[in-house]
Structure 1
Amino acid sequence: MYWESGTAHLLPRPLRLPDGTSRTHGPLFLSERRPVPARRPAAADLCPRTGRARPGYDRARVLLEMYAGLDLHQLRHSAATHLGEAEIPLQLIMGKTRHENPRTALRYVEPGAEAIAAVTEVLAPRRRTH
């Protein structure tokens, strides 16, 4: 995963453990409690030091709304749309958003009026100058 520099500077905060040490691998964000044995997720979704699991999408959505007043899906949509407006190729947007099918990624990439005008200008015949 790639992070912008501002985000990267904040990453040590959620990685810090109560004893002052930091986690070096495992999920970035953790649930409040350890999962019960019957609901134990895959090893990749568990912190090897604390045994706590990565929160599910629904829990992450609730926490983001509660503490930041933001909609998780809208953030994803906005980021992909900004990439599209910056003329980033669809293949790179798919890689960033982890979409496997171009049709599903296309709904996030809606070019604005300025982008349409720029494309129209490329196709316009050159004017002769005397």
Structure 2
Amino acid sequence: MLYESAARADEMLRLNVEDLYSQDKRGRITAKGGATEWIHWQSGTAQLLPRLIVRRTRGPLFLTNRKAPAGTPTLDVCPETGRARLSYRRAEEIFEENTRLLANPLASSDDIEDLDGWTLHQLRHTALTHDAEDGTSTPMLLTRSRHTSVRSLERYARPSVDAVARHVAGTSSGRGSTLHRGSEIGDRGHVRRSSPRVRLRGVEPAHPGLPCAPRRKLACEAGPAPGPECRGGACSESPVVTDSGSGMP
């Protein structure tokens, strides 16, 4: 649920059953500063939530396995089971212990006591990083993470080395064809205006006074401003045709 929603662990642990809108796959949370905001999840969480809630209709969503000790605030006690809300410290311990082999796939189960597992915060970090690698826009990342500035988002959304390699491999062919098309445009001819004459490369000379051919007309119109020689598409002077090899008229 933390990974799918990219929510902060402490916000998630403050969720109550009545804060869930299961049909819409979203929940209402109390964010930093006391503001009410929304988190969204996917099908995996939607399938598991009923098993977690069972028949409860109110109270803390995540509970310990024990009855709440005396003096526990009422808001942190399930009114239907009497169990206490799961604390951040205990949730972190459970998650870290159960992910030690996942975080160290080459390690042996005999060494599990000496291994370190993942942290709850890494789920949020990983979710935002994967979103960034998948091309999620910056406005969407800001909304999903509920950050207020791009600077605060930067430390989360850092694509991995493998993601950068996939990106380069996936875009290399497209970039190459774009560069080639640009090169072709440059090779077809350079139209520039110098003096009152229209200089073209690689076109047949025109007779004075005849209407410009399409390419000549485009060349005439491409100048900073039509000169007196260009009257409504009729050139009073022949364009100068330069040889592509020597550059001489």
Is TM > 0.5 for Structure 1 vs Structure 2?
A: yes
2:134 is aligned to: 86
1:96 is the counterpart of 2:140: no
1:36 is aligned to: 70
TM-aligned CA distance change 1:116 to 1:48, over 3 Å: farther
1:52 is the counterpart of 2:86: no
* 2:45 partner letter: T
**3-state SS of 2:63 partner:** coil
TM-aligned CA distance change 1:86 to 1:23, over 3 Å: same
**3-state SS of 1:65 partner:** helix
TM-aligned CA distance change 1:86 to 1:52, over 3 Å: same
2:92 is aligned to: 61
1:74 is the counterpart of 2:105: no
**3-state SS of 1:31 partner:** strand
TM-aligned CA distance change 1:50 to 1:96, over 3 Å: farther
What is the distance in 2 between the residues matched to 1:23 and 1:62? 25
Superposition TM-score, scaled by structure 2 size = 0.39
Gaps of 5+ in 1: 17-21
Report the aligned-residue RMSD. Answer: 3.2
2:45 is aligned to: 7
What is the distance in 1 between the residues matched to 2:58 and 2:168? 44
Q: Report the alpha carbon displacement of residue 74 of structure 1 after superposing the two structures with TM.
A: 1.9
Q: Report the alpha carbon displacement of residue 68 of structure 1 after superposing the two structures with TM.
A: 4.0
* 2:134 partner letter: A
- Give runs of ≥4 in structure 1 deviating > 4 Å: 114-118
Gaps of 5+ in 2: 1-38, 101-116, 189-249
What is the distance in 2 between the residues matched to 1:27 and 1:5? 22
Structure number with bigger Rg = 2
Superposition TM-score, scaled by structure 1 size = 0.67
* 1:65 partner letter: E
1:80-116 Cα shifts (integer Å, max 9, x gaps): 1001111212343344334344322221111342447
What is the distance in 2 between the residues matched to 1:102 and 1:26? 35
TM-aligned CA distance change 1:95 to 1:35, over 3 Å: farther
1:19 is aligned to: none
Q: Report the alpha carbon displacement of residue 76 of structure 1 after superposing the two structures with TM.
A: 1.8
The alignment covers a number of residue pairs equal to 120
Identical amino acids, percent of aligned pairs: 40
Q: Report the alpha carbon displacement of residue 27 of structure 1 after superposing the two structures with TM.
A: 3.0
